[in-house]
Amino acid sequence: MSAPTSRRRNPSQGSGNEDSPAAVPGVSWKVFHFVRRVFATSLFVLFLVCIYLSVAGVPAGLVQKWVSQLHTRGVHVEVARIHLDLLSGFAADGFRFFDSPDRRVPMLEADRIILSFNPLEWFDREAGLTGRRSRAPRCGSTPAASWKAARACRT
C-alpha cells in the first residue's frame, strides 16, 4: 500500500485501475465462466436423465437390444422392464433366465432383480457390481438344473 498523499485525484481520471489485469476480465475469467456453465448444465442434464430412468425406465427398444446381445453370447434371459432405483441400483422387472433357448420353463424367475453398483470402483478397473437382490424368486423344476441356477435360488 502506498502512503496517503495530500494530493487529490481528479474524478475524471477514474480510480487508476482501468489498465490493471484485475479490473479487466481476461480470457481466464471467460474460460472459467464457460467451464462453470458447461459443468452446471451437464449436472442438470444428468439429474434429468436419472429422474427419467427412474420414472419411465429404459426404453423398450434398448432393453430388447441388450437382451438380443445376451442371447448371442449364450445367456438366455427375458426382461419385461428395466428402470433405475436411485437408492438401490438398476431394477429388472419380470426377469426370467433359461438354460437354453428352446426351454419353456425358466431356470430362474423373479418379479424383480436389483443390481447394485459402485461407480467409484470403475476407476480401479473393477466390475463395480456390488450385489443383487431378488424379490419373489422361483426356480424351475428340472432334474438337470445347473449349479449356477441352483445357487441363485438359494439366495
Q: What is the mean pLDDT of the chain?
A: 77
> What element of type H or E holds 145?
none
**Interval 74-84: pLDDT, tens:** 889 999 999 99
What are the Cα distances from residue 42, in Å, to 2, 25, 26, 67, 107?
46, 25, 25, 29, 42
Structure confidence at residue 2 as a pLDDT band (50, 70, 90): low
Under the banding of pLDDT at 50, 70 and 90, the label for residue 146 is very low
| Predicted confidence band of residue 19 (pLDDT cuts 50, 70, 90) | low
Global pTM reads 0.61
CA neighbours within 13 Å on the CB side: how many for 139? 15
What single-letter amino acid sits at 39?
F
Q: How far apart are CA 95 and CA 81, in angstroms?
A: 8
Taking only the tens place, the pLDDT of each residue in 84-120 is 988 888 888 998 988 888 888 888 888 888 888 777 7
pLDDT at 125: 75
- 117's enclosing H/E stretch is strand 108-117
Residue 145 pLDDT > 50: no
Question: What's the pLDDT at 113?
Answer: 87
User: Which grid cell is 155?
Assistant: 439366495
